Amino acid sequence: MSIERDVRPHTAVHARRLPAVVLFLLTAPAAAALIVLRRDIEIEAGALAWLVYACLVSAAAAWAAVRVWRPTELLSATPNGIVLPGVLRERLAWADIRRIEAITHRGRTGDIADRLIIHLKQPMTLNFRPAKLRKIFAGLPQSAVAVDIGLRWPVRADVLRNLLKETAADFAAGNHPQSDTGSRPGKVWPGVLAMLAAIAVPIGVQTTDIGPPRLFSEALALYAKGEMQSAAPLLEQDARAGDAAAAVALGKLYLNGDGVERNPAMAAAWIERAAKRGNGGAAYHLGDAYRLGLGVPADLRTAIDWYETAADRGSPEAAFALSRLYRLGDGVRRNYTRAIQWLNVAVDMDFAPAMHDLGQLYHEGLGVPRDPETAKDWYRRAADAGLIAARYDLARLMLNGPAEQRQQGLRYLVEAAEYGYAPAQRRLAAAFISGQEMERDIIAAYKWISLAERAWPPATRADLVREKARIQSHMSAEDVAAATEQIRIWRPLRSK
C-alpha cells in the first residue's frame, strides 16, 4: 500500500508500482533484443520499421522505469482541499465538499464495483484534466465528482473515504501545518528526458551502425562453414537487401573466386556498397583494393582515405595498415611519427600485431629511443594476445640479454617453434647444433631445420637447404631415421 501519512503535511496515494515493474520487465529485454538483432530485423522488415519499433519499445521501457522510480500520484489531501491530478486541474476545497461516499463491493473488481464519490455542497463548473471529460461535460455544473478505483489504486474506495475523513479532521484540529507542499502533480520532465534518452539509443545505434553482425542469416552461416557455392546466391539476396556483412562476404567470394567466377571489379563493387553503408571492415578492404589495384584503378590517396575512414569506424586492421605505409614509406614519405600514432590507435583496440610492431620500433630504435625493456613489454603483450611472431622476437631479445633471461628466452623460442613459426624453428635448430644455449642434439636440430624448410618461402629457401645438408652430413642413417620419425608425428600447437 503506497499511502504516506504523518510524514508529509498531506496524505498522498500513489499508483501501484507492480504494473510499471511488469511493463519494464517486458520492454527492457525487448529493447535490448531489438538492438542485438537489428541487422536481422532490418533485412526482413526494413530499417525504418526497425527504427520506429525500437524507439517505441525503448520509450516504453524508459517510461516504465520512471514510473517504478516515481509512481504517479493519484490523490492527495492538503489543508485546503483534495487534489486529483489525473481528473481535475484544480483542487476541490474542503469548504465546497458536502460529503464523501464510497461504493465498494468486496471480492469484485472493476470501475462500478469500486468508486469514490465526492459530493459538492452546490453544483460547480469543474476544470477536468482529461480531454474526454471536458468534451462530455462541456462546462456544465457538476454536483459530484466520481473517481473509479481500478487496479492502479493501492486501496479500495471505502479505505480512501475513511482516510480522507480522518485527514480532514486532522487538518481541522490543527494537527498538520498549513502548507500545500506536494499538492501539485509530480513534474513530468524527468519522464520526458528519460524517454528522449531512450529513443536516442536506437537512433544512435542505427546512425553509427554499431552492434553485432546478423545472428540468423543462412547465407552467413553457410559462408562461415566454407560452403561457398551454396552461400553465394543467398549472400547476394541479403546484400541487395542492404546487409553490409553479406556484401563484404560476397565481395571476398568474387575476389578469391570461391564458389563464383573470380571478378575483382564485382568484388570491389560489393565491398564499396558495404563501405558506404558505414561498415568499417568493408572500408578497410576497399582501402586494400585501391592500394593494390584490385578491381579498381590503383590510387594510394583514395586507399589512405578509406583506411582512415575504416580506422575511425573501429577497424584496427586499417589503423595498422596506415602505420605500415608510413613506417615502410610504401608510396608515401616515410614518417615514423605518424606510423607510431596509427600504431597507438590500433593498440587502443587491442590489436596484437600493432603491439608487436611497437616492440620492434623500440627494439631497433626506429622513430623512438632504443629501449629493450619497453620493447620486451610490448612483445610480451602481443605474445599474451596470441601472436606467435611476438614470442619469437621476445625470445631473440632475451637470448641476447643478461644470463638470467636466457632460460626464459629459450622457453619462448621453443613455444614459437612448437606453434609452427618457421624462423623460430630455424633458430632452435641452430641452438641444438651449436650446443651453447642448450645441450647439443643433432637429431633435434635436423628435425627443426627440416620443419622450417617446409614452411619457408621458396624464393629464399636455399640457405635452409644448405643448413639441412650440413647437419645431415654429421648424422648416421639411424639418426636420420629417428629424426624423420619425429618429423612425421610432429603436429603444431594451435593458438588459443
Q: What's the pLDDT tens digit per position in 290-314?
A: 999 999 999 999 999 999 999 999 9
Write phi, then psi, for 297 (nearest 5 degrees): -60, 140
- Does 17 have pLDDT greater than 70? yes
Residue 375 has which C-alpha cell? 620493447
Q: Which of 148-157, 186-195, 284-293, 356-365 has the lowest mean pLDDT?
A: 186-195
Please tell me which residue, 72 or 269, carries the higher pLDDT value.
269
Distance of alpha carbon 59 from alpha carbon 296, whole angstroms: 45
- Does 175 have pLDDT greater than 70? no
Strand partners, 97: 120
Question: From the centroid of its chain, how far is CA 348?
Answer: 16
Distance of alpha carbon 247 from alpha carbon 261, whole angstroms: 16
Report the percentage of the chain scoring pLDDT > 70: 93
pLDDT at 378: 96
DSSP 18-84: HHHHHHHHHHHHHHHHHHHTHHHHHHHH-HHHHHHHHHHHHHHHHHHHHHHHSPPEEEEEETTEEE-
Burial of 56 (0-12, 13-18, 19+ CB in 10 A): middle
Which 3 state secondary structure label does DSSP give 126? coil
Residue 266 has which C-alpha cell? 564485382
Residue 78 binned pLDDT confidence (cut-offs 50, 70, 90): confident
Distance of alpha carbon 119 from alpha carbon 147, whole angstroms: 11
- Does 267 have pLDDT greater than 70? yes
Q: What's the pLDDT tens digit per position in 101-113?
A: 998 887 665 556 7
